[in-house]
């Protein structure tokens, strides 16, 4: 079997890795990636964090496998005995809820506990006792992760997945897919910007925020949008201990990063969130308007914060339910989608890559049933909702 993977970020690399790991010499894998530097790729512009605190069991299970690979990277990703450097820092997420959000936090907690996630609900008083720097009087409930959460170098992660895939025999070609040729409901070939044409039995759309554009090359309307998110790197003159990744009810998140902190904001319902805003112009005004007031409210010591720098990347948003699309496209069965992760794709890359590989090699998911994330949702418009979207 010959498989062409479109996009060589963390997701495309994980697909290639598991195709070779599970399929060996029986599968020929070529990854088409125009930019080996991954300069604009989300995998190199993320907040590089992993959590177990999701609202549905499938996402929890995908994160669990992501953590297994991260925490044992030398075993999973090592090549020729060289250590794999991902700078993984075990940490915890602290979700904060007001009275309005507390029922959702409780419901999520029940799902997580049913999956044996190490997570604890804390009252505001318990949270205040544990985290003296945190303002809690406007909160109703918090949820603190235990094992299985933390942060890592997302670009190194994507490169390690790619390096391992290559070591197993996957090939990389530096080119951009600019055309897709179909016959009936089958995809026959991809046209590249170097004039070449590559044929395959199956194609995987792993183009991240550009997945919608790749879909349109085959005449398919794929609702995955490139939505800019800015990460602010911060310095605080007031000494603080190492902070967990705090998710504020106002949609702002922050955590320790090295000697400083990083923070960001995701638009909520009713906020403008246009497609394809330029990445080289992070929205610095957003910090004053949206982020800093929330930070200063939640952590009084943050009153004196300074932005040291900022960068922007694209969330690959699937607006129906903010969950990935993984599986065969209903109108083109030999085009596999593996995109739309809506901001949690790095941590889910191993589970998604393994799922796509199983599906292609065996016609079904084997290790983890990912069918709830399948592309039937494109037709039914039935959401498979994730409540814990950041």
Ligand X SMILES: Cc1cc2nc3c(=O)[nH]c(=O)nc-3n(C[C@H](O)[C@H](O)[C@H](O)COP(=O)(O)OP(=O)(O)OC[C@H]3O[C@@H](n4cnc5c(N)ncnc54)[C@H](O)[C@@H]3O)c2cc1C
Catalog residues that contact ligand X under the rule CB under 6 A: 6-12, 32-35, 38, 41-43, 45-49, 176-177, 206-210, 214, 229, 231, 313-316, 339, 341, 343-347
Q: In angstroms, what is the minimal distance from the CB of 364 to ligand X?
A: 23
* Smallest gap from residue 193 Cβ to ligand X (A): 8
Task: Quote the least distance from Cβ 278 to ligand X, whole Å.
Answer: 14
Nearer to ligand X, 140 or 348 (CB): 348
CB of 140 to ligand X, least distance (A): 25
User: What size, in residues, is the chain?
Assistant: 390
Beta bridge mates, 355: none
| C-beta closer to ligand X: residue 105 or 262 | 262
Q: How far apart are CA 350 and CA 104, in angstroms?
A: 28
Residue 83 is classified by DSSP as P
Residue closer to ligand X (CB basis): 48 or 350: 48
**Which residue number, 91 or 209, has a Cβ lying nearer to ligand X?**
209
Residues 6 or more apart in contact with residue 32 via CB below 8 angstroms: 4, 5, 6, 7, 8, 173, 175, 176, 177, 190, 192, 198
Q: Rank residues 102 and 206 by Cβ distance to ligand X and give the closer one.
A: 206
* Nearest residue to 170 (alpha-carbon basis) of 364, 357, 368: 357
Task: Report the Cα–Cα distance between both ends of the chain, in Å, rounded.
Answer: 38
Q: How far is CA 148 from CA 35, 70, 104, 126, 349, in A?
A: 32, 10, 21, 22, 15
Of 23 and 209, nearer to ligand X (C-beta) is 209
Classified as helix, coil or strand, 119 is strand
Dist CA 267 CA 16 (whole Å) = 33
CB of 366 to ligand X, least distance (A): 22
What is the crossing angle of helices 345-362 and 154-167, to 10°?
Answer: 20
- State both tokens at 82: 């060289």
Q: Which residue is it, tokens 């959590």?
A: 51
Cβ neighbours around 24 below 10 Å, total: 11
Cα(285)–Cα(16) distance, rounded to whole angstroms? 40
Query: Considering the complex, what minimum distance in angstroms separates the CB of residue 48 from ligand X?
Result: 6
> Residue 56 Cβ, how far from ligand X at the closest point, in Å?
15
Q: Do the beta carbons of residue 96 and residue 154 sit within 8 Å?
A: no
Looking at beta carbons only, is 134 or 390 nearer to ligand X? Answer: 390
Q: How many CB atoms lie within 10 A of CB 348?
A: 29
Pick between residue 140 and residue 290 the one whose CB is nearest to ligand X: 290
Cβ of residue 132: shortest distance to ligand X, in angstroms?
Answer: 26
Q: Output the smallest distance, CB 2 to ligand X, in A.
A: 17
Cα distance between residue 6 and residue 366, in whole Å: 23
Nearer to ligand X (CB atom), residue 34 or residue 124: 34
């Amino acid at each position: 079997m010959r498989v062409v993977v479109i996009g060589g970020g963390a997701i495309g690399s994980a697909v290639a890795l598991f195709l070779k790991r599970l399929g060996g010499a029986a599968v020929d894998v070529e990854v088409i990636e125009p930019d080996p530097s991954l300069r604009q790729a989300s995998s190199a512009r993320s907040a590089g964090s992993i959590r177990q605190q999701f609202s549905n069991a499938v996402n929890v299970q995908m994160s669990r496998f992501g953590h297994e690979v991260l925490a044992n990277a030398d075993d999973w990703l090592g090549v020729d005995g060289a250590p794999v450097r991902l700078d993984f820092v075990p940490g915890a997420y602290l979700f904060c809820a007001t009275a309005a959000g507390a029922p959702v936090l409780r419901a999520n907690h029940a799902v997580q506990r049913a999956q044996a996630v190490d997570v604890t609900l804390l009252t505001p008083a318990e949270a205040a006792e544990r985290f003296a720097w945190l303002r809690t009087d406007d909160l109703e409930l918090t949820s603190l992760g235990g094992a299985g959460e933390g942060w890592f170098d997302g670009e190194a992660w994507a490169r390690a997945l790619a390096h391992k895939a290559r070591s197993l025999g996957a090939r990389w070609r530096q080119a951009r897919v600019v055309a897709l040729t179909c016959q009936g409901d089958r995809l026959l070939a991809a046209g590249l910007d170097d004039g070449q044409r590559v044929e395959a039995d199956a194609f995987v759309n792993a183009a991240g925020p550009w997945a919608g554009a790749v879909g349109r090359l085959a005449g398919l309307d794929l609702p995955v949008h490139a939505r800019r998110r800015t990460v602010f790197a911060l310095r605080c003159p007031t000494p603080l201990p190492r902070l967990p990744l705090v998710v504020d009810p106002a949609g702002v998140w922050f955590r320790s990063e090295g000697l400083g902190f990083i923070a960001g904001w995701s638009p909520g319902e009713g906020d403008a969130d246009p497609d394809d805003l330029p990445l080289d112009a992070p929205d610095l005004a957003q910090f004053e308007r949206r982020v800093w007031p929330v930070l200063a409210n939640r952590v009084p010591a943050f009153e004196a914060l300074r932005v040291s720098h900022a960068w922007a990347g694209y969330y690959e948003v699937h607006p129906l339910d903010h969950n990935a699309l993984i599986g065969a496209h209903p109108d083109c069965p030999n085009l596999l989608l593996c995109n739309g992760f809506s901001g949690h794709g790095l941590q889910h890359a191993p589970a998604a890559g393994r799922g796509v590989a199983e599906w292609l090699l065996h016609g079904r998911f084997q290790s983890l049933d990912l069918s709830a994330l399948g592309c039937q949702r494109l037709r039914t418009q039935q959401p498979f909702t994730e409540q814990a979207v950041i």
